Amino acid sequence: MGTRVIIYSGKGGTGKTTISAASASLIASRGKKVLIMSSDPAHSLSDVIGKAISRDEVTELAPNLFGLEVDTVYEMRKSMGGFQKFMANAYEGRGVDSSVAAELSNQPGMDEILALNRLLIEYKSNKWDCIIVDTAPTGNTLRLLAYPEMIIGGTSGKNFFKVYRGFSSFVRPFRQQTPNDEFFKEVNNLMEMMNELSAFIVADDVSVRLVLNPEKLPVMETKRAYTFLSLYGIKMDSVIINKILPREKQLGAYFDYWVELQAKYIKEIEESFNPMPIFGSILEDEEPIGVNKLIPVADKLFGTSDPIQKLYDHPLIWLEEMTANPRAPKETHRRLCVRLPFIDEQDELYIAHNGTDVNVTAGRLQRAVSLPRVLVHSDLVNFYYEDGILKMEFSEKPPEEIAWTDDPFFVGSNK
């Protein structure tokens, strides 16, 4: 078994840092070497563990347990110092104040990319049995996970990446006011990094666990997060309901109301996410601060399940062969299925077939999905949404209509 990566996310205040730390502590107590990382700019991992954690070097927290609070400002200076310097100088050359220029040189999305890259570095080191990531609130986490795919995803994105890489090499001998070698090297490294990250985040070893409280807003946000993760091919293997009020205790009329309200939302969560595993954590009698108090929290949470394992595995995108049309027996029809749970009827579903990509828009979500090679010479003839699955039907073009020299896979094989 390779390094297992588990990413915990959820709405702010749901207790995901506590659940992340408890899971890491339990796995480490069972003899596995574990790294717990925080990618949240407002780090609270060290507060939950009860020990200071470094921003650049892993810190030993307990036997088999190590921690790291990623500082993206530090990572930016270390990996993209030349890029930042050129951008700041360019702004200053246009009359922008130096302090403002320094801020403008921090490009949008860089925090997410660099935090993910540090995760990838640790993953590739082969030093860990398991890496657990405590992330920022859901919105930032989704941007963190999807950003490499947004930039480099789809066949068109990959083609742009190849063109840019070639252009940056071509322009160097002729440059006058162009950036120096350090700038081009760092930007090329960044493009390579995003290409690698977009593949890593959908790897079999990586999965997301969403933490929520049994309340209306966290339930709604968790459903939207599941839709987003599914669209981008990022695996989710469980839902964790945290801060459940104990039902067996008489807490008075005030708390009885909240206990009943929580029961209503717990039922909704179970019905909505079935058959995915759902775990519940009862609100503790005291704050679980420190490894020794965190281990029992995770032990009760997971019960007989092993938290290091992939707890649920299902395909997010798959291909189905369709029954041949008797009227056109030579035509081949296939169906590309994309799991998209919780799409509202009011959400606009728009599908556009663009060469080797299909652009999927569902409400405010959008992604360019690269077609499997078997569909490259097929036409999109129909699509519909059924039981949480987007189904797109393709008809293969007759051989005489296929221009093999236009096939990007064919052209690429001769390079």
pLDDT tens-digit profile of 251-260?
677 888 899 9
Q: What pLDDT does residue 193 have?
A: 75
Residue 92 in this model has a pLDDT that exceeds 50: yes
| C-alpha triplet 20, 245, 15: angle, nearest 5° | 20
Select from 306, 115, 312, 316 the least CA-distant residue to 202. 316
Pairing mode, if any, of strands 357-362 and 365-370?
antiparallel
List alpha helices for 38-173, DSSP H. 45-49, 72-93, 98-104, 110-124, 138-152, 154-171
Q: What three-state secondary structure class fits 150?
A: helix
DSSP H or E segment with residue 409: helix 408-413
Structure tokens at 141: 């986490």
Of all helices (H) and strands (E), which one includes residue 361?
strand 357-362
Contact (Cβ atoms closer than 8 angstroms) between residue 26 and residue 298: yes
Alpha-carbon distances of 174 from 90, 93, 373, rounded to whole Å: 19, 22, 39
Would you say 143 and 17 are in contact if contact means Cβ atoms under 8 Å apart? no
User: pLDDT of 362-410, one tens digit each?
Assistant: 888 888 888 888 888 888 999 999 989 999 999 886 665 555 444 444 4
Q: Are 130 and 32 in contact (CB under 8 A)?
A: yes
- Report yes or no: 64 and 32 within 8 Å, Cβ to Cβ: yes
Q: Range with the lowest mean pLDDT among 147-156, 197-206, 324-333, 336-345? A: 147-156
Per residue in 235-280, pLDDT (tens digit) is 999 999 999 998 766 667 788 889 999 999 999 999 999 999 999 9
What domains does the chain contain, in order, with CATH numbers? 4-73+108-302 (3.40.50.300), 317-413 (2.60.40.790)
Residues, the chain, total? 415
3-class state of residue 405 by DSSP: helix
Paired tokens of 146 = 């999807």
Residue 286 backbone dihedrals phi, psi, to 5 degrees:
-145, 165
Overall average pLDDT of the 155-179 stretch? 51
Retrieve residue 398's tokens.
């007759």
Rg (CA), the chain: 24
Q: Residue 32 corresponds to which amino acid?
A: K
pLDDT score of 246:
87
CA atoms within 13 A of residue 197's CA, in its CB half-sphere: 27
Q: pTM score > 0.85 for this model?
A: no
The whole-number pLDDT of residue 86 equals 55
- What is the biggest distance separating any 2 CA atoms in the chain, rounded to whole angstroms? 79
The label of the residue with tokens 């780090």 reads: 43
Instruction: Please provide the DSSP assignment of 15-62 as one string.
Output: -HHHHHHHHHHHHHHTT--EEEEE--SS--HHHHHTS---SSS-EEEE
Nearest to 18 by CA among 215, 258, 286, 260: 286
What percent of the chain has pLDDT above 90? 41
Instruction: Determine contact, residues 155/411, Cβ cutoff 8 Å.
Output: no
Q: Secondary structure of 259-280 in the HEC alphabet?
A: HHHHHHHHHHHHHHHCCCCEEE
